[in-house]
Amino acid sequence: MSNEQALEQYDVKKYRTPDGYTSDIAIFTIISTHTEAFKPPSMDLKIMLIQRSMVDSEGRPNIEAGKWALPGGFVDPNETAFQSAIRELREETGVDHIHLEHFGVYDKPGRDPRGWIISNAHYAIVPEHQLAGRQANDDASAVELFSVKDVLELDLAFDHEGIIKDAISIIQQKLLSTTVAREFLPEHFTYSELQAVLLTVTNDSAIASDASFARKIKSLPFIQEISGQKTTRTSKKPTQLYRFVDAEVNNTIYHAKK
Amino acid sequence: MSNEQALEQYDVKKYRTPDGYTSDIAIFTIISTHTEAFKPPSMDLKIMLIQRSMVDSEGRPNIEAGKWALPGGFVDPNETAFQSAIRELREETGVDHIHLEHFGVYDKPGRDPRGWIISNAHYAIVPEHQLAGRQANDDASAVELFSVKDVLELDLAFDHEGIIKDAISIIQQKLLSTTVAREFLPEHFTYSELQAVLLTVTNDSAIASDASFARKIKSLPFIQEISGQKTTRTSKKPTQLYRFVDAEVNNTIYHAKK
DNA sequence: TAAATAGTGTCTGTCAGACAGTATTAG
DNA sequence: CTAATACTGTCTGACAGACACTATTTA
C-alpha cells in the first residue's frame, strides 16, 4: 500500500496544532576588560539581549513591551529552527559563519500569552569584534550586552529567565567539557588568552595558576604549538602561540584522560 | 502598556503554523544474554521499535505502513513534549517512573509527508523486566527489540533512521560520561554487572579488565560500597554489592578528574 | 635596573593499568 | 579437587600541581 493512497485520506486537521514555532538565540561574547599593552587579557562573559519595542512594526502595542528578551523570531515553513536561528542571527547582528548550537525546547503551555508557541533555544558564540555594528531593528528598541553575572536581575520577557539560566549553565559546562572555547579566541592564541576565557567560568587552581596552565597547554591533545610563532601582545617576553586542532576528546567518568 | 491591550490586537494567524507537534521515544533496554547460575552477565543494548499498522484505527490505509518506527505520537495542547513522551511511554509499554531525556528536535521540511510536523526526540531507559508485558496497540502491528548493532538495517519510517542513529550515539556517550548506567541496573549491583553495561558501548581495556575495574569501582566518587552486603548471583565467591550515590561529576577536558 | 609576563626545574604524591597471585565457593 | 569468579599485592610509569627559580623584554 502506498503513502499516496494514505495521504489522500489523511486529515491534517485531526489534531490541534501549535499557534507558532519560534527560535531564540542566546548570543554570547567575551569582552576583554583592562586591555593594556603587554598585558594578558582579563575577560568577562556577556550575553546579548534586546529590549522589546513598545509598539510593533505596524504601530500596535507590543507583547511584553519594554522587557528584555533573547533575540529570535518565527520559523518559516521552509526552514528548520536551526536555520531560522542562523538567519535571525544574521538579520539581528549581521554576523555569519559562527558557532551555533541547539540546547533546548521550551513548550510549556502558557509560556507565551499569545497561544501555544514552541520555541527552540540556541546559543551562539560571537567574537567580540563582530558585534561592533549591532543595532536595534524594528522589533527592538535597544540591544545591549550584559554580564552573565547580573543579567538575571533584569525584567525579562516571557519565560526567558529560565531559558537564559539554562543557556548560561550550558555554556559554562561546554567551555570546560568541549573545545568551544576556541570560538572565543583568534586562530592563534597564547596560553594566557585561553586561560582568560576559561577563567570566566571556573576558578580551578590548575587553570588559574600560570605555571600549571602554561605547562598543561602543551599536553592537551586538541591544542598544538605553532613552532616558531610568537607574539608580544600579552607580555614583553615573546609568547608562544597555539592553535586548536581537531582531535576527538573522550570524556568518560570511568577512567582517566589519556 | 499592558499585555492585555497588546493581546486584543494580536493576530494569531499572522504566521503560518506547523501542522503537527509530536514526540518520539527511543526506548533502550539491556538484555542479559547467557544467563546462568554463578555467571556474570553478558549484555546487549537494545532499542524498542514498533511496526506501523497497514491501516489506522479507523480502517484507512496508514502512512508509512509496515515500516519500523520509534513509538511516539502527537503532543496535546495542554502538555509539553516531554510530558507527552512520558504519557506515550506509559500507554505504549505500561512503564512509568523511568529515566527519560530529551535529545533532539527534528523539523526539517519534508521529513513527514503529512505536512509541517515537528518532532521532539527523547530517549528512555527501561530495565529489561519492565518490558515483559509490552504488546502492540492500535497503531502498531508489532513491537520488537532490536540490537543497536543491526537496527539500522531495517526499513524505517519517516526520518527515523537519522533519529535512531542520533539516539544510539547519544546513549553510548551518556553511558560513559554520566551516571545513567545506573538506570540499567538494580539498586544494588556488583562490579561485573556495571562492567557488563559499560561493555555494551566500549571495549576500553581499563573497563574490560576484571582486576582493573574491580579496583576502579572503589575509587569512583559516585559509587559507594554497601558494607557487608554480598551476593552470589554472579559467582560462587560472594561478591561485594555497590550502589550509586548522588555526587557531582565534573567532566572537564582541561584537567584530570579528582 | 625594575617590573611584568612567560615560562622551566624539580619534587612529591597519587594513581592508572598490567600482571601475577590469592580467596571463596558449588559441585 | 577443579573450575570459575572475585578480588589483592605489587610494580612501573606518568602525571598533576606546588613552588621556586630563570628568561626575556620594555621603559
Residue B18 C-alpha cell reads as 506547523
pLDDT in tens, A6-23: 667 666 667 789 999 999
Q: Is residue A4 part of a domain?
A: no
A158 and A62 in a common domain? yes
C strand bases under 7 Å from protein CB? 3-9, 15-21, 23-27
For residue A38, the model assigns a pLDDT of: 79
- The 3-state DSSP class for residue B146 equals strand
| Contact call for residues B53 and B62 (beta carbons, < 8 A) | yes
Q: How far is CA B74 from CA A198, B25, B103, B118, in A?
A: 42, 12, 17, 10
- The 3-state DSSP class for residue B113 equals coil
A42 and A107 in a common domain? yes
Percent of the residues in chain A that have a pLDDT greater than 90, as a whole number:
64
pLDDT-based confidence at A136, cuts 50/70/90? low
A218 and A169 in a common domain? no
Q: Is the pLDDT of residue A257 over 70?
A: no
User: In this complex, do A1 and B61 lie within 8 Å of one another by their Cβ atoms?
Assistant: yes
Report the residue of B253, B257, B258 to disrupt the A interface, i.e. the one with the largest count of A CBs within 10 Å.
B253
Number of domains forming the structure of chain A: 2
Q: Is residue B89 part of a domain?
A: yes
For residue A258, the model assigns a pLDDT of: 39
B70 and B39 in a common domain? yes
Q: Is the pLDDT of residue A1 over 50?
A: no
Q: Is residue B101 part of a domain?
A: yes
Q: Is residue B133 part of a domain?
A: yes
Q: What is the CATH number of the domain that holds B59?
A: 3.90.79.10
Q: Which helix (H) or strand (E) holds B121?
A: strand B117-125
For residue B136, the model assigns a pLDDT of: 61
Using the 8-state DSSP alphabet, how is residue B243 labeled?
Answer: E
Looking across all nucleic acid strands, the nucleotide with the smallest C1' to CA distance from residue B257 is D16
Q: Is the pLDDT of residue A135 over 60?
A: yes
For residue A59, the model assigns a pLDDT of: 82
Task: List the beta bridge partners of residue B124.
Answer: B27, B100
B73 and B28 in a common domain? yes
> Which of A29-38, A77-86, A156-165 is the least confident region?
A29-38
Looking across all nucleic acid strands, the nucleotide with the smallest C1' to CA distance from residue B236 is C25
> In angstroms, how far is D20 C1' from A209 CA?
14
| Contact call for residues A222 and A246 (beta carbons, < 8 A) | yes
A84 and A27 in a common domain? yes
> In angstroms, how far is D14 C1' from A101 CA?
36
Domain that residue B33 falls in? 16-177
Q: Which residue has the cell 554570547?
A: A28
| Contact call for residues B104 and B121 (beta carbons, < 8 A) | yes
For residue A253, the model assigns a pLDDT of: 79
Q: Which residue has the cell 555497590?
A: B242
Which residue has better confidence, A256 or B240? Answer: B240
A166 and A121 in a common domain? yes
A236 and A167 in a common domain? no
Got the DSSP string for chain A?
--HHHHHHT--TTSS---SEEEEEEEEEEEEEES--TT---EEEEEEEEEEEPSB-TTSSBPTTTT-EE--EEEPPTTS-HHHHHHHHHHHHH---S-EEEEEEEE--TTSSTTSSEEEEEEEEE--GGGGTT----TTEEEEEEEETTTGGGS-B-TTHHHHHHHHHHHHHHHHHHSSGGGGGS-SSB-HHHHHHHHTTT---HHHH-HHHHHHHGGG-TTEEEEEEEEE-SS-SS-EEEEEE--------SSS---
CB-CB neighbors (< 8 A) of A109 in chain B: 77-80
| Contact call for residues A28 and A173 (beta carbons, < 8 A) | no
Distance of alpha carbon A149 from alpha carbon A140, whole angstroms = 23
Residue B190 C-alpha cell reads as 556488583
Q: Which of B78, B75, B126, B118 is nearest to B101 (CA)?
A: B126
A109 and A21 in a common domain? yes
Residue A102 C-alpha cell reads as 541547539
CB-CB neighbors (< 8 A) of B198 in chain A: 254
Handedness of CA A41, A44, A48, A54 (dihedral sign): negative
Q: Tell me the one-letter amino acid at B209.
A: S
Domain boundary among B137, B152, B177: B177
Rg (Cα) of chain B, in Å, rounded? 22
For residue A23, the model assigns a pLDDT of: 97
Q: Is residue A1 part of a domain?
A: no
Looking across all nucleic acid strands, the nucleotide with the smallest C1' to CA distance from residue B37 is C26
| Contact call for residues B141 and B43 (beta carbons, < 8 A) | no
For residue B16, the model assigns a pLDDT of: 87
For residue A228, the model assigns a pLDDT of: 84
For residue A39, the model assigns a pLDDT of: 77
Angle of helix A191-198 versus helix A160-177 axis, rounded to 10: 140
Got the DSSP string for B150-219?
TGGGS-B-TTHHHHHHHHHHHHHHHHHHSSGGGGGS-SSB-HHHHHHHHTTT---HHHH-HHHHHHHGGG
* Mean pLDDT score across all residues of chain A: 89
User: In this complex, do A61 and B102 lie within 8 Å of one another by their Cβ atoms?
Assistant: no
For residue B258, the model assigns a pLDDT of: 38
Number of C-beta neighbours around residue B228 at 10 A? 7
Q: Is residue A64 part of a domain?
A: yes
Closest-approach residue (CA) in chain B for A252: B177
Three-state secondary structure readout of B15-82:
CCCCCEEEEEEEEEEEEEECCCCCCCCEEEEEEEEEEECCECCCCCECCCCCCEECCEEECCCCCCHH
Domain boundary among A157, A177, A197: A177
pLDDT in tens, A191-249: 999 999 999 999 888 999 999 999 999 989 999 999 888 998 888 999 999 999 998 77
Number of C-beta neighbours around residue A38 at 10 A? 10
Residue B173 C-alpha cell reads as 556517550
> In angstroms, how far is D11 C1' from B210 CA?
18
Q: Is residue B235 part of a domain?
A: yes
User: In this complex, do B61 and A9 lie within 8 Å of one another by their Cβ atoms?
Assistant: yes
B63 vs A3, A176, A198: nearest CB: A3
Separation in Å, CA of B7 to nearest CA in chain A:
7
Ranges of chain B with pLDDT below 70? 1-2, 6-7, 10-13, 34, 132-138, 255-258
Q: Is residue B21 part of a domain?
A: yes
For residue B7, the model assigns a pLDDT of: 66
For residue A154, the model assigns a pLDDT of: 97
Distance of alpha carbon B124 from alpha carbon B101, whole angstroms = 7
| Contact call for residues B178 and B225 (beta carbons, < 8 A) | no
Domain boundary among B177, B202, B223: B177
Distance of alpha carbon A194 from alpha carbon B89, whole angstroms = 45
